[in-house]
Amino acid sequence: MNLILLTQDDVNDSRLARVRDPRRLAHLRQVHRAQQGDVMTLGIENGPLGRGTLLSLDEDEACFDVSGLDQAPPEALPVHLVLALPRPRMLARSIEHATALGVKHITLLHSRRVEKSYWQSPELDPAKIHQHLVLGLEQARDTRMPTVDTARGFRPFVEDRLPTLLEGRRGLLAHPGMPQACPRGIDDSVVLLIGPEGGFIDWEVEQMLAAGCEGIHLGQRILRVETAVTALLARLF
Amino acid sequence: MNLILLTQDDVNDSRLARVRDPRRLAHLRQVHRAQQGDVMTLGIENGPLGRGTLLSLDEDEACFDVSGLDQAPPEALPVHLVLALPRPRMLARSIEHATALGVKHITLLHSRRVEKSYWQSPELDPAKIHQHLVLGLEQARDTRMPTVDTARGFRPFVEDRLPTLLEGRRGLLAHPGMPQACPRGIDDSVVLLIGPEGGFIDWEVEQMLAAGCEGIHLGQRILRVETAVTALLARLF
């Protein structure tokens, strides 16, 4: 936790924020060994960040002075990440990596090689996903909360949603064996599509290319989804 | 397991390999649902890879025909990774990511902000490390086994070993706040140094810069070690 992320609800006037949930209180005590008077890095969800003083800390509440938060959060990546739903543990880590790297829009997509059972995982509970988004933001000292949605049918996604997503954006389909190496250091707005373990099936690849995506690859090595997410984002931007 | 990695010991003549350890046997049965006659991707540690037939599979042994293995493993990255020892779970994942991406030389370094207890972790057991290296190779369909060693004193490392490592190599110290952005797509041989959570201390940074390293950064965001390892390697090479 390189930043203590406060919600808009924590802030009860423009100057004070009160934290009452056990996770952050425990973290303040055990990891930060926080004490009254400490000056810490604080941020308000979808708001500013900066340094603020811990005014009080007891069993049930930490109270911060947030009047000095005047910095903008770091720049977001201009990317909408479309990720074939990974298995649950991988999903959690992929969301944290992507969030820490600055992704603000994530769509979890069904595709043929996504195991149907993954859609029943408790990791898809919005509260769980929110927790991983918070961890990613706290890690990277960011305050802008990403949005995560799902597309549980591949065909409706590619026929109805993808064309809209691609308006004004460059579609990049990361898939082993595609002809073009992943471009480096681009400035474009991008829709980045990443397949499941085992990859998209040929028909799915054809549909995405037909919709206007460019196929890109990261070389001969087959990477786990979470490694590929980070590697692609780091190389692209 | 995108490749079944056989040791030199598994291969008892130039044509046959026998696998007897429970991990790979269980994986063959449960994940691959392997059956006699299946043609699978096989590789021999520090040797060739290719397609080979599963000749037999019983309780205690799988026997493969390896006479057709004639491909070279994918290219290695020209990098010696020096990683301040991360906490145990992060160490395991960082080693797997780095190995999957093609790193062949890893040195685990002590530095001021490395918790001393990490050096007592069972994750440092050579057998455990070997297991993570194997997982990384199997993931990326590689056969060349990386070497991992330790440098348990920062000063002896920077005074005695680093100068030798830097002969003919470009030293890149990844550290937040350094003036130069991480370069992209370079061809140089590199020694890449990555600090612990909380970073190298100023004195350590000075020592490494004085030894001839260039300081580089990945932007304003603070990344977890495992995310930084992947992001740096993907951007550099």
Residue B129 carries which side chain, given as an amino acid letter?
I
Residue A32 belongs to domain with CATH number:
2.40.240.20
Is residue A129 within 8 Å of residue A148, measured between CB atoms? Answer: yes
Which of B35, B65, B95 marks a domain boundary?
A: B65
Between strands A105-109 and A147-151, the pairing is: parallel
In this structure, is residue A199 part of a structural domain? yes
Residue environment code for A116-149, b if the CB has 16+ CB neighbours within 10 A, otherwise e = eebeebebbeeebbebbbbbbbbbbbbbbbbebe
- The answer to whether residues A135 and A34 belong to one domain is no
- The answer to whether residues B34 and B149 belong to one domain is no
- The answer to whether residues A195 and A87 belong to one domain is yes
Inter-chain CB pairs, A–B, below 8 Å? 77
Nearest beta carbon to residue B230 from set A96, A141, A231:
A231
| Chain A residues touching residue B233 (CB < 8 angstroms) | 231
| Chain A residues touching residue B140 (CB < 8 angstroms) | 221-223
Between strands B79-84 and B190-194, the pairing is: parallel
In this structure, is residue B73 part of a structural domain? no
- The answer to whether residues B92 and B57 belong to one domain is no
Radius of gyration of chain A (CA): 20
**Structural domain of residue B46, as residue ranges?**
4-65
In this structure, is residue A71 part of a structural domain? no
Nearest CA in chain A to B75: A220
Number of residues that make up chain A:
237
- The answer to whether residues A128 and A224 belong to one domain is yes
In this structure, is residue A187 part of a structural domain? yes
- Please give the ipTM for the structure prediction: 0.95
Is residue B94 within 8 Å of residue B108, measured between CB atoms? Answer: no
Return the number of other C-beta atoms located less than 10 Å from residue B165's C-beta.
17
Q: The pTM is what?
A: 0.95
Which of B65, B93, B112 marks a domain boundary?
A: B65
| Dist. CA A199–CA A173, nearest whole Å | 11
Residue-wise pLDDT tens digits, B192-207: 999 999 999 999 999 9
Is residue B101 within 8 Å of residue B140, measured between CB atoms? Answer: yes
| Chain B residues touching residue A185 (CB < 8 angstroms) | 184
Mean pLDDT by 10 residues, chain A (237 residues): 91 88 88 91 96 94 95 97 97 97 98 97 96 96 98 98 98 96 97 96 98 97 96 98
- The answer to whether residues B199 and B118 belong to one domain is yes
- The answer to whether residues A120 and A175 belong to one domain is yes
In this structure, is residue B102 part of a structural domain? yes
Residue B101 belongs to domain with CATH number:
3.40.1280.10
Nearest CA in chain B to A76: B221
- The answer to whether residues B167 and B194 belong to one domain is yes
pLDDT at residue B32 greater than cutoff 90 = no
Token pair recorded at residue A58: 């007891």
Domain count, chain A: 2
Lookup result for tokens 């969301």: A95
Which stretches within chain A are classed as H helix?
Answer: 22-30, 88-101, 126-140, 154-156, 162-165, 202-210, 225-236
Closest approach of chain A CAs to the CA of B164, in angstroms?
A: 30
- The answer to whether residues B56 and B98 belong to one domain is no
Q: Name residues whose C-beta falls within 8 Å of residue A37's C-beta, 6 or more positions apart in sequence.
A: A53, A54
Residue-wise pLDDT tens digits, B168-188: 999 999 999 999 999 999 999
| Chain B residues touching residue A102 (CB < 8 angstroms) | 221
Helix axes B225-236, B88-101, angle to 10 degrees: 20
- The answer to whether residues B48 and B148 belong to one domain is no
